[in-house]
Structure 1
């Protein structure tokens, strides 16, 4: 059966860029299903509806806030104030992966999750879901260099309090009837204009080939499924899951979590961007898009134990993946036990992240091999705990 790197080649070279809800993403899902069939497993394909853009909701929100500025000066002061705060609320909901009116305005498409269940040798005492997403992101200017990414993160960090300040100034102007309160609002409006321009530009760029992000994660899920077929765990059932539409707001993971609420509190292990040069098996303590979402403390402790037992694998923690999200976000919100691997380098850089250079030639097979070995040992440790519980 193909190795992880062979799956990476099939996804990133043979299929190529796999934008969310596109035909190429569907081809990647078909590929995963065929791999499962070749292993003698039953692939389960679960369709869902998703947004087609991660950037469009923020373009709509910031564009709407900018329209409130001339509206304020034209006499619609209360509408400008209330409209700004409504758009801020929608933005906050979007940043926390919560349904909101912005999503009604974003184009939709159909996508799918694909999974197969690998039973253990004995009775099921634990359940693990290995998750890697199939789709790829666009290649916006904001991710074109470390300097551009730092500027983008600064603008986004300042954008929300700036919008709040603009709304407050509009509110004061509406309350007092004094239009002069609108003039200071022009400063945060300039900030929002920059965010709006970045969001619009991002949606006009081509999709990345996504070799590292995330053919490595999805490919590793498929390769581990093959190994688990040959070497089943003793009491841990493993679901090998390839999701769609992670790059537009983790829609696939959210759909999977909603559909499988009856699983209780399974262990949900996310493999995302795990082959960048200079990185290693890297476990996230938490990820923060707006609110911090922490990995499960017991799983973090178990990962630390595995890292100590196998120092040659070079595994380490990263305290906080800021301004980003993974498929782990919906699972954390649902109360599942989540552990996420994203191979940031020790200096905090995620190699080739959302860049045209995220191609097969820039994936490090050694990093992939060490990460896969780490995940395998982590699964063994989880299974030993299941055995010990009797």
Structure 2
């Protein structure tokens, strides 16, 4: 009797996903990687060594001014609104109501603009530091017809308490949504109170102030927490890119130019991707496919159909079409979902580029079980099956694009 042959995907699972080796090395060698820190540059150097050994024709570190903290802009937004509500509560005159309205409106502006990667009044108050992206390029065997940018972020997040359990995460989501609505309500209500002299509306300011000041306090708490080791978020995405490029050494693409882009400051506002697009979008071309691998080490494969923190922006139809073709060619557990926050795909999507976010989510849907922004996000918590699925999907997606006719 002849033993049945195993597929390449089954072999990946039966052995150990190559990406897991890279993940362990990154965590053991570098550890946590705060945005704009020397650890990010160290991680980029370690990855550059692997990519150069795989035959990259170009390897460069792109310097840019990043943002080290994600919670500061929201601290300014919630803090300004809380101050405005306090003034309306204590003053209860037209001038104090007007100040309260303006400060609450500033909070709305900052929160909306920050979520859409736009400048706002607090932007000059946010510290900036020099940091780097790692950019490598691989040429196809023949004349390139298409370009793919495989992207994963190197930096890791802080570990505030509101990511510790699913109940906390839901409560925090409700708090942030409620705070945004309270700022919008404050801007409107205090404007009306100032115009009509309705002093009694000062009592509306009390619950607004309590909610907004609590939200600001949570931002202060978050700024004092340590950074996660980031095995799933996002050494997993980095590892899958490295393992994919290693495979290209023996099975090079025929018609597709490939960039491997490892960014910094995704966790603080996708600043690395924004910097890459500012300088290199013309180089990659408008028809390039950006594939963002983010948290692919635990759960079942997911592709985002919409991306964004407040406004959910639709994924480019061409990106979804290629993803569906890849799943047909290499079946893996796969669903299309709406994202809960933003990824490095969003800056590209907002600029009209073809961008796709690939992630993994536990079947329960509870992201806390994937150690999202927790100190327990370590290699031992990763799932070989999830990594193997991500590797198989990424490889097949490259083949689908490479075989696309002119």
Say yes or no: TM over 0.5: yes
Distance (whole Å) between structure 2 residues aligned to residue 364 and residue 356 of structure 1: 17
1:71 aligns to 2:87 (yes or no): yes
Does the CA contact (< 8 Å) of 1:135 and 1:244 recur in 2? yes
TM-score by length of 1: 0.94
Three-state SS of the structure 2 residue aligned to 1:274 is coil
Alignment of 1:146-161 (within 5 A): 146-161=166-181
Alignment of 1:219-234 (within 5 A): 219-234=239-254
Three-state SS of the structure 2 residue aligned to 1:189 is helix
- Select which of 344, 359, 370 maps to 1:327: 344
1:53 aligns to 2:69 (yes or no): yes
Tell me the equivalent position of 1:294: 314
1:343 aligns to 2:360 (yes or no): yes
Does the CA contact (< 8 Å) of 2:306 and 2:315 recur in 1? yes
Distance (whole Å) between structure 1 residues aligned to residue 61 and residue 141 of structure 2: 25
Shift in Å, 1:300? 1.3
Tell me the equivalent position of 1:10: 25
Does the CA contact (< 8 Å) of 1:19 and 1:136 recur in 2? yes
- Select which of 184, 188, 195 maps to 1:175: 195
Tell me the equivalent position of 2:400: 381
1:207-260, Cα deviation, whole Å (9 max, x unpaired): 000000000101211221222233221111110110011110110011111111
Distance (whole Å) between structure 2 residues aligned to residue 105 and residue 79 of structure 1: 20
Alignment of 1:1-390 (within 5 A): 3-41=18-56, 42-72=58-88, 73-74=90-91, 75=93, 76-262=96-282, 263-265=284-286, 266-276=288-298, 279-311=299-331, 313-314=332-333, 316-322=334-340, 324-350=341-367, 351-385=370-404, 388-389=405-406
Shift in Å, 1:296? 2.0
Three-state SS of the structure 1 residue aligned to 2:403 is helix
Tell me the equivalent position of 2:5: none
Which has the higher mean CA deviation after the structures are superposed, 71-80 or 38-47?
A: 71-80
Which has the higher mean CA deviation after the structures are superposed, 224-233 or 360-369?
A: 224-233
Unaligned stretches of 5+ residues in structure 2: 1-16
Three-state SS of the structure 2 residue aligned to 1:284 is strand
Shift in Å, 1:180? 2.0
How many residue pairs were aligned?
381
Unaligned stretches of 5+ residues in structure 1: none
Does the CA contact (< 8 Å) of 1:57 and 1:106 recur in 2? yes
Distance (whole Å) between structure 2 residues aligned to residue 319 and residue 163 of structure 1: 29
RMSD: 1.6
Shift in Å, 1:319? 2.0
Does the CA contact (< 8 Å) of 2:158 and 2:223 recur in 1? yes
Shift in Å, 1:185? 2.3
Distance (whole Å) between structure 1 residues aligned to residue 39 and residue 365 of structure 2: 31
Distance (whole Å) between structure 2 residues aligned to residue 245 and residue 149 of structure 1: 22
Shift in Å, 1:12? 1.6
Distance (whole Å) between structure 2 residues aligned to residue 310 and residue 37 of structure 1: 29
Shift in Å, 1:308? 2.9
